[in-house]
Amino acid sequence: MKNNPRSPSISKQSPIFKNKATTAAVPPLGRTYTTTFAPAQDEQHQHQQLEKQQMLNIIEKLVIRMEQNDKNHIKSNQKIYSEDERKLIVHGLRQYYVKLNEYEKNAKLIDLLNKIKFNQIIILVESARHCKALSKLLAEQNIPTVEVHRRMSKEERLQRCKEFKEFKKRILVATDSIAFRMDFVAVNIVFNYDISEDADTYLHRVIGAGRFGTKGLAITFVADETEAEILNEVQSRLEVQIGEMPDEIDVVTHIENR
């Protein structure tokens, strides 16, 4: 997204956030490598691939079943409250925005990841390119992540999502198209690193941080006037108040049993 020299203005909120941290640059993307097999290995490789595909089919069926169970759990326990489908609001979810310049996002994100206590986090970005670059940057800062985007094969996406579900890593960097298809019940914080394109997309994103009426936190980075307008649309459409993020966040606002 391009920088806008004008300060973003969000409906009747506090002054723009000033981020003085030194910003790390997003590194260039790495190369893509392909693997080849010698003729003598073909039969063994085909057998291994068949076994792997069978396992992935089993995993996918389990994921679909888990998602359906979660949906049934939501309906039966009535933990999501709404006046109508357009005004769906998750009970217990705290929502904040951070005003900053585009080039300040990385430093601010790293600062928050090191400061905020969490179970699991999803960081949502607008493209596979951003997903790969941000994951690499965080790894260089000793912040391990699971990277999932639409350019990956179905096999790889399922395997990485399985790793995240199993808590092998606690931070997922993903694009919308991937995050919407999976259900991660332990997630209690969602970062909109790149803002959603509209109110509906925003809603789908943040629901992941407050499912079943549990406590959760959604943080949106706002870098220009266009993004501020989107956030204003979100507030109006969903009839929800999104305040500027405070310097300190009490852990009881987004972690259960505290």
In a domain, residue 199? The reply is yes
Nearest to residue 172, comparing CAs of 208, 144, 209? 144
Distance between CA atoms of residues 97 and 9, nearest Å:
12
In a domain, residue 89? The reply is yes
In a domain, residue 29? The reply is no
In a domain, residue 63? The reply is no
In a domain, residue 97? The reply is yes
pLDDT of residue 247: 84
In a domain, residue 179? The reply is yes
In a domain, residue 234? The reply is yes
Q: Which residues contact 207 (CB under 8 A, 6 or more apart)?
A: 80, 88, 90
pLDDT of residue 228: 95
Query: Residues 198-252: pLDDT tens digits?
Result: 888 888 888 766 554 567 899 999 999 999 999 999 888 888 889 999 988 765 5
pLDDT of residue 49: 64
Nearest to residue 148, comparing CAs of 34, 140, 169? 169
User: CATH number of the domain that 196 lies in?
Assistant: 3.40.50.300
pLDDT of residue 101: 95
Domain of residue 198 covers: 79-253
Please enumerate, as own/partner, the contacts of 83-87 that have beta carbons within 8 Å and a separation of 24 or more: 83/239, 86/237, 86/238, 87/237, 87/238, 87/239
Query: Residues 165-178: pLDDT tens digits?
Result: 899 999 999 998 66
Give the total number of structural domains in the chain: 1
pLDDT of residue 93: 81
In a domain, residue 22? The reply is no
Q: What percent of the chain has pLDDT over 90?
A: 34
pLDDT of residue 17: 35
DSSP secondary-structure letter at 100? -
Distance between CA atoms of residues 15 and 9, nearest Å:
9
Low-confidence ranges of the chain (pLDDT < 70): 1-92, 177-183, 208-214, 250-258
Q: pTM, whole model, 2 decimals? A: 0.67
Average pLDDT, the chain: 73
pLDDT of residue 19: 40
